[in-house]
Structure 1
């Protein structure tokens, strides 16, 4: 529930400005009511330092309202400049990284909140108060000082966010977090090399309710639903894939008489969120795509920044290496089963070369099956565009080969063969001019370092970035 709320907040740019403006509106009404109902004077024991006359309060609040509106306009203009820079120099997909940042929207919200407070409290400044003293202006001054501090923080924040290195690092950190979460999910599940449905009494296919990208899959709830229905729930798509309203999204397998109602079965679609755009939540592929696009912009003739592309390739090498130990197929999520049992069964199956007892018996009851990430596809998607557009730049190709070496060091033997196959494809697409002279010597050396890893069949030493 908290993850869903956090995801909703991050996708709502207006959330923090609306929240802070609403709180400021309530504060303004509270302070205005206090000034009207509690007639203060210097002899009431209230600190006179915090009291001002009505005329002075009007002047102060008017200045604050005008100043904060100017600062809000400046902040909005700066935000638009940053967004334009992100879209043109980095990637249109990185725009949301700035918009979804909490600090950016909080600063804009504080400025808007200060303006709302000043305008509303001015409404309470009436001539009927006469010579009475009010506290509204003092609180307004405190609010203005907070806004000033936030403005300095915002300038520092924008200066940091606009730097390419920092942007890549933030995307990398989010991708790494999602990869770790995916590893944790698979450790709790049993892996199947292939899905064998057997002869089932009933098979129900549920189509997606709308078109768009898969944004969130609630694995535990789908497994709980499968257990309550007494069936196997199979999700045939992974997070980030595009589906239409005719795409079979979920398949339910019953090995006995089906007693579930249609409404109960369709609850499975409620646990798979579909949206019009990709999200980074549960989707490390989207983060990898952003880094790839930044690298492609960097090696384009219009920008011509190969050093940024080389840095992106190092980050891509590290990220893909985090996936190099994964095996393809499917993973089974069962509610109530221990993780130890689930992780041991696939190992026994792989060592013996046969199938586990649960597979031989056919489709078990009450679990959810999800398609696993295919390492070969991740490897290809992560590097093939850079191979195509950077094949004439020897520095980019050397960095790409180093990235493949990072991947090779942590890959399983099967995935190492996939890396070696991709290496041969890369070599065949190199610009012929790079296969001459000293360029060829450097490339051949990196290629040999990769090939020796599969020849030795063991992990190489750590490589310092």
Structure 2
């Protein structure tokens, strides 16, 4: 189905960046802990008597109060998070919502509140019916500790959510995420790749449906090409949108005889199509987010030049890193040098088009923005490799 990750890497990335795993793990851990403590105390009889001296009625009242309070805490945190997402979406860009959803403090806050409520529920269910029976006093003590932890975490959450909603924090988070993508997918190297010339394609694998190219599993394609004595060339770059039936991967012969038919389903599965862009191989997504923030800040409705300048400054740092790195095609070869996979990453010119051209058009009536963009290009000119200079000079001297 379109939008569902196919490759193992994209599945792991989707799981790691999803909102639900941390709260779910906290909830499951709380249930297991409550069951384990209750069984140990009621059946094994651990020596923890008089930790919380109270009768059966007091224990039931305590646990019921904890459950009620934690459910209220959870609803309040969820409401605050939704409001924060709405404000960020309307004021900055809908594409920054992923930054909030990936925030670990929010995830742990919700997870802790859920864990406390579920822990109390399990302990309440495990209470004996007879008032003379031994109470799970260690479990009651742990429930109280979880309440104290939840209270402190709630206060910290209120401070944290107001901090990460500030534009400087959002811009810095986008920059940090994009720098990780640059270091992983645009390596520092001084070796220039030779021009790759593949023979004419013998067949074409088309896209199964519409979507954005999210991840290209080069290793899977290489193994498949090796098994079928062919080479693959991935046509779109990460971040490109493809429609159903559009050429996705071309198949090339590597030997004199034509290669056997390749399993198209496996080829398609190596190119993940998603419903939205995300950081990873799509280095340009960071520039798109920063440009969106700058353009929205420069709109007549907001007219916030300072925010636009902050976004341009972050993009400047990213462009400076990329200007000193060669834009190599992604190639996978056998030990004997036989080319198996060829893919084209995003170009430096495409990054400039988003970070410079789009923002310049939005800020054409803002002298501060125009001067800053010219200064950014002038600085890039001093550090850029020769292959990037034409793209920079064309924008510096329009």
Aligned to 1:458: none
CA contact (8 A) 1:192 1:330 kept: no
- Report which of the two structures shows the higher radius of gyration computed on alpha carbons: 1
**Structure 1 residues 414 and 282, CA gap change in structure 2 (3 angstroms):** closer
After superposition, residues 150-229 of structure 1 pair within 5 angstroms as: 150-184=153-187, 187=189, 191-193=193-195, 195-198=196-199, 203-229=202-228
Secondary structure of 2:62 counterpart: helix
Q: Which residue of 1 aligns with 2:4?
A: none
Aligned pairs for 1:62-461 (under 5 A) are: 62-135=64-137, 136-184=139-187, 187=189, 191-193=193-195, 195-198=196-199, 203-254=202-253, 255-263=255-263, 266-326=265-325, 330-336=329-335, 365-425=338-398
Whole-angstrom distance in 2 between the partners of 1:120 and 1:247: 54
TM-score, length-normalised on structure 2?
Answer: 0.89
Alignment partners' CA distance in 2, 1:11 and 1:178:
15
The alignment partner of 2:365 has SS state of coil
How has the CA–CA distance of structure 1 residues 259 and 395 changed in structure 2, closer, same or farther, with 3 Å as cutoff? Answer: closer
Q: Give yes or no for contact 2:331–2:339 (8 Å, CA) kept in 1.
A: no
In the alignment, the residues of structure 1 paired with residue 376 and residue 53 of structure 2 have an alpha-carbon distance, to the nearest angstrom, of: 65
Unaligned 5+ segments in structure 2 are 1-6
Provide the C-alpha distance between the structure 2 equivalents of 1:18 and 1:277, rounded to a whole number of angstroms. Answer: 24
Shift of 1:142: 1.5
| C-alpha deviation, 1:315, in angstroms | 1.5
Seen in structure 2, the aligned counterparts of structure 1 residues 241 and 189 have a Cα distance that, compared at 3 Å, is farther
Q: How far is 1:399 from its partner?
A: 1.0
1:240 CA drift (Å): 1.0
Distance (Å, rounded) in 2 between the aligned partners of 1:377 and 1:116 = 50
Secondary structure of the residue aligned to 1:376 is helix
Output the CA distance in 2 between the equivalents of 1:51 and 1:327.
Answer: 70
Higher helix share: 1
Q: 2:63 aligns with which of 51, 61, 64?
A: 61
Post-superposition Cα deviations, 1:13-41, rounded to whole Å, max 9, x if no partner, equal: 22222221122222222333345434x5x
1:24 aligns with 2:26: no
The answer (yes or no) to whether the contact 1:321–1:407 under 8 Å persists in 2 is yes
CA positional deviation for 1:171: 0.5
User: 2-side partners of 1:142 and 1:389: how far apart?
Assistant: 53
CA apart distance, 1:166: 1.3
How many Å apart are 1:326 and its aligned residue? Answer: 4.7
The structural deviation recorded for 1:46 is: 3.3
Q: 1:329 offset after TM fit, Å?
A: 7.4
Distance of 1:219 and 1:205 partners within structure 2 = 17
CA distance, structure 2, for counterparts of residue 286 and residue 51 of structure 1: 58
Alpha-carbon separation, structure 2, partners of 1:171 and 1:29 = 42
Task: For residue 312 of structure 1, report the CA deviation from its aligned partner.
Answer: 1.4
Cα distance, 1:259 vs structure 2: 5.0
Unaligned runs of 5+ in 1: 338-363, 426-465
Q: CA offset at residue 3 of structure 1?
A: 5.0
Q: Give the superposition deviation at 1:134.
A: 2.2
Task: Tell me by how many angstroms 1:164 deviates.
Answer: 1.0
Farther off after superposition, 277-286 or 117-126:
117-126
Q: What's the offset of the Cα at 1:187?
A: 4.5
Relative to the length of structure 1, the TM-score reads 0.77
Distance 1:133 1:375, change over 3 A: closer
2:3 is matched with: none
How many pairs align? 390
Which residue in 2 is equivalent to 1:343?
none
How many angstroms does 1:376 deviate by?
2.0
Contact 1:72 1:108 in 2 (8 A): yes
Higher relative contact order (CA 8 A, sep 6+): 2
Superposed displacement of residue 149, structure 1:
2.7
Deviation at 1:175, TM superposition (A): 0.8
